[in-house]
């Protein structure tokens, strides 16, 4: 079986692991479990590492705390993420606090959710999505 690169959700270290169903592997640097599926709050600094270094697909939610639809999607995004440990990494970035990445990817409306595979954007949607829509989208990336 091939090794897969997984960026640690806690410390952003790049780990190269063999994925075995039902086995949790801890980060070699900080010991956080790499299969923790909870959405990772990223910054201008950590965002690129996740997008470029993860071998698994990425979804990233550009949000603002003053955007109604963004906040309305909060729980659905989290629920959807919990179903994809080590399959799809769910990220979120506060686009008010981290404007560099939002500018770089041309994000003009919030929420915008962008899917990446191996560092390449594959699709984006700029509206609130339901848990089912998020689930189907994540499923389609695998």
Judged by the rule CB under 5 A, the positions of this chain that interact with Zn ion are: 8, 10-11, 13, 27, 29-30, 32
What value does the CA radius of gyration of the chain take, rounded to a whole number of Å?
A: 14
User: What are the catalytic residues?
Assistant: 67, 70
Q: How far is the CB of 27 from Zn ion (least distance, A)?
A: 3
Give me the helices (H) in the chain, please: 44-53, 68-72, 74-81, 99-104, 131-141
Distance CA 142, CA 137 (A): 9
Give the residue with the Cβ less far from Zn ion, 25 or 141: 25
Q: How far is the CB of 15 from Zn ion (least distance, A)?
A: 7
Q: How far is the CB of 4 from Zn ion (least distance, A)?
A: 16
Task: Copy the structure tokens of residue 5.
Answer: 């690169």
* Cβ partners under 8 Å of residue 65, min gap 6: 71, 94, 96
Give the residue with the Cβ less far from Zn ion, 49 or 141: 49
Give the residue with the Cβ less far from Zn ion, 15 or 112: 15
Nearest to 84, CA basis, from 56, 63, 103: 56
């Amino acid at each position: 079986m091939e090794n897969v690169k997984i960026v640690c959700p806690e410390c952003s270290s790049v780990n190269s692991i063999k994925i075995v169903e039902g086995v949790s592997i801890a980060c070699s640097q900080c010991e956080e479990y790499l299969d923790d599926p909870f959405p990772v709050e990223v910054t201008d600094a950590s965002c690129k590492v996740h997008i470029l270094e993860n071998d698994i697909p990425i979804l990233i939610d550009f949000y603002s705390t003053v955007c109604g639809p963004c906040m309305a999607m909060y729980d659905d995004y989290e629920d959807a993420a919990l179903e994809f440990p080590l399959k799809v990494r769910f990220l979120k970035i506060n686009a008010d606090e981290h404007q560099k990445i939002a500018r770089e990817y041309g994000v003009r409306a919030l929420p915008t959710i962008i899917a990446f595979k191996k560092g390449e954007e594959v699709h984006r949607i700029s509206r609130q999505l339901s848990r089912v829509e998020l689930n189907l989208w994540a499923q389609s990336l695998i």
